[in-house]
């Protein structure tokens, strides 16, 4: 099995997750920040070969001048490397970490669940998910 490069893993991660992000701008920001900061050092490297020192080579030049950018780039590198590990790992590894890499479902409105369903279940003598108390039947 061929090792996946960081550049290919980053592209695959972004494509797999952008539908769950709030806007198209998020994908653009991911692409641009990884292209500008991570790709020159990590882009052609196999993800399995990337070490802490390699990541530090990416982050050290921007850490003092652009700490917010450096933090975002670090998180993005971590996400891409985790994604690559899942893609190339054993079946047990893929299953164990698949939930964190699946993009979150888009939520509509302020809350994902309706308050009507909570109210109706508490009227039937169920344990209230809000207070933890058993309501009167």
pLDDT value at residue 109? 54
The architecture of the domain spanning 6-89 is Orthogonal Bundle (1.10)
Give whichever of 23-27, 33-37, 124-128 has the largest mean pLDDT. Answer: 33-37
pTM score above 0.85: no
Backbone angles phi, psi at 61, to 5 degrees: -65, -25
Q: What is the pLDDT of residues 108-119, one digit of tens each?
A: 555 555 444 444
Residue 71 has pLDDT above 50, yes or no: yes
Residue 127 has pLDDT above 80, yes or no: no
Distance separating alpha carbons of residues 36 and 38, to the nearest angstrom = 6
- For Cα atoms 71, 21, 78, give the angle at the middle one, nearest 5 degrees: 35
């Amino acid at each position: 099995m061929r090792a996946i490069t960081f550049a290919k893993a980053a592209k695959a991660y972004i494509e797999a997750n952008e539908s769950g992000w709030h806007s198209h701008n998020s994908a653009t920001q991911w692409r641009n920040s990884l292209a500008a900061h991570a790709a020159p050092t990590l882009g052609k490297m196999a993800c399995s070969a990337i070490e802490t020192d390699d990541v530090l080579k990416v982050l050290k030049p921007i850490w003092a001048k652009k700490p917010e950018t450096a933090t975002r780039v670090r998180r993005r590198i971590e996400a891409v490397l985790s994604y690559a590990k899942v893609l190339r790992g054993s079946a047990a590894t893929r299953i164990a970490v698949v939930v964190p890499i699946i993009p979150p479902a888009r939520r509509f409105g302020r809350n994902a669940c309706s308050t009507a369903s909570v109210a109706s279940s508490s009227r039937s003598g169920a344990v209230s998910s809000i207070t933890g108390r058993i309501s009167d039947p």
